[in-house]
Amino acid sequence: MHTTDERRAVGFIFCDSIYMTGDLLMASLLRHRAAEHMAFFAESTGRDSDATAYNALAERIAQSILQVFGDDGRHGGWMKATTGVSGQPDVWASIYAIYRGIVKGEAKTRLLQTIVSSLEKKGEIEFQGALRHLPVSFDASDKSAWERSVTPKNRYQNGAYWHTPTGWLIAILQEKYPEHAKGIRDRWIQHLKAEKGRVWECIGWDGTGNQNPGFAPSITLPLGVLEQTH
C-alpha cells in the first residue's frame, strides 16, 4: 500500500493523525489479511479462479514485507512504519507482522528479541500493559514522537499508550517468553481493575494523556485475540 504528498490517504485508522507517506507497513499487512479473507470467501462459494488470484496476492505481499520494511540498520531491529515521511520504528505493525505469521524463522527470532529488549526498558514501548506506536528512544524530536503529527507529543497516537494491540503482543510472546506475556496480561488486568469501569482509548504517565473512557476496542480486540490462542 502506498501514499504520496500529492494524493495522500490514511492507511490505518489508529494512526490517522500521523502524517505518513511512501509504502505503508500496517496498511500492507491489513491488505494481506484482506486478501486471505477474500480467498476464503471465494473458495467457499466455488470461485476457484478468484481464490487462486487472492492467494497469489497474499503471497506476493508476504514475500515483499521484510524486503521493503525490514530494518536497514537505523531502526534498532524494528520494522519501519513507512518508506517516506514518519518512516520510524513501528511497534504495533512489527508485533502484528509476527502475529499474522508473515515474519518467520530467524527474522522472527530477531524481531522478538528486539521487542523483549524494549519491554525490559521501563516505558520504552509499554505502560500498564498498553503499547506506544513507536519506541520512546526513537522519538523524532522533543516536540513530537512521529516526524509529523497534528496532535501534541505523548498524546493520542503521537506517543500515548494503547491497549488495542495488547492481545497481539501477549499471543506472540507466549511460546518463547511466557513470563513476559504473563507480565503484560497482569499489568493490563490490574490497570482495568484500578480504573473501575473506565476503559480508556489511550493512556499516559500518571493519568496524563488519558482519553475517551468508553473505548470498546481496548477490551474487545485483545480478548478476541486471546480467546483464539487458548
6 falls in which pLDDT band (50, 70, 90)?
confident
The candidate with the shortest Cα–Cα distance to 135, out of 193, 61, 80, 65, is: 80
Interior angle at CA 30, CA 114 and CA 92, nearest 5: 30
H or E element, residue 217: helix 217-228
> Total structural domains in the chain?
1
Task: Tell me how far apart the alpha carbons of residues 201 and 161 are, in angstroms, rounded to a whole number.
Answer: 9
The candidate with the shortest Cα–Cα distance to 15, out of 122, 148, 138, is: 148
Work out the widest C-alpha separation in the chain, in whole angstroms. Answer: 56
Q: Is residue 157 part of a domain?
A: yes
- The arithmetic mean of pLDDT across residues 84-109, rounded, is 97
Q: Is the pLDDT of residue 190 over 70?
A: yes
Q: Is the pLDDT of residue 230 over 70?
A: no
Q: Is the pLDDT of residue 229 over 80?
A: no
Helix, strand, coil content of the chain in percent (nearest 5) = 50, 10, 40
Q: Centre a 10 Å sphere on the Cβ of residue 72 and count the other Cβ atoms it contains.
A: 8
CB 19 within 8 A of CB 147: yes
Q: Is residue 87 part of a domain?
A: yes
Task: Tell me how far apart the alpha carbons of residues 57 and 36 are, in angstroms, rounded to a whole number.
Answer: 9
Q: Is the pLDDT of residue 155 over 90?
A: yes
- The arithmetic mean of pLDDT across residues 121-129, rounded, is 97
4 falls in which pLDDT band (50, 70, 90)?
confident
Q: Is residue 35 part of a domain?
A: no
- Predicted confidence at residue 79, as pLDDT, reads 98
Query: What are the backbone angles phi and psi of residue 51, rounded to the nearest 5°?
Result: -60, -40
Q: Is residue 165 part of a domain?
A: yes
Q: Centre a 10 Å sphere on the Cβ of residue 101 and count the other Cβ atoms it contains.
A: 11
Q: Is residue 121 part of a domain?
A: yes
- The arithmetic mean of pLDDT across residues 71-88, rounded, is 95
Task: Out of 1-5, 167-171, 185-189, pick the least confident.
Answer: 1-5
* CB environment 34-70: b (16+ within 10 A), e (fewer): ebbebbeebeeeeeeeebeebbebbeebbeebbebbb
State the DSSP code for 147: S
The candidate with the shortest Cα–Cα distance to 87, out of 150, 15, 7, is: 15
207 falls in which pLDDT band (50, 70, 90)?
confident
Residue 128: domain span: 70-228
Indicate the pTM of the whole model.
Answer: 0.95
Q: Is residue 61 part of a domain?
A: no
Q: Is the pLDDT of residue 23 over 70?
A: yes
Mean per-residue pLDDT over the chain, rounded: 95
Beta strand spans in the chain (E): 2-3, 22-23, 126-127, 130-132, 161-162
Q: Is residue 6 part of a domain?
A: no
Q: Is residue 143 part of a domain?
A: yes
- The arithmetic mean of pLDDT across residues 53-66, rounded, is 97
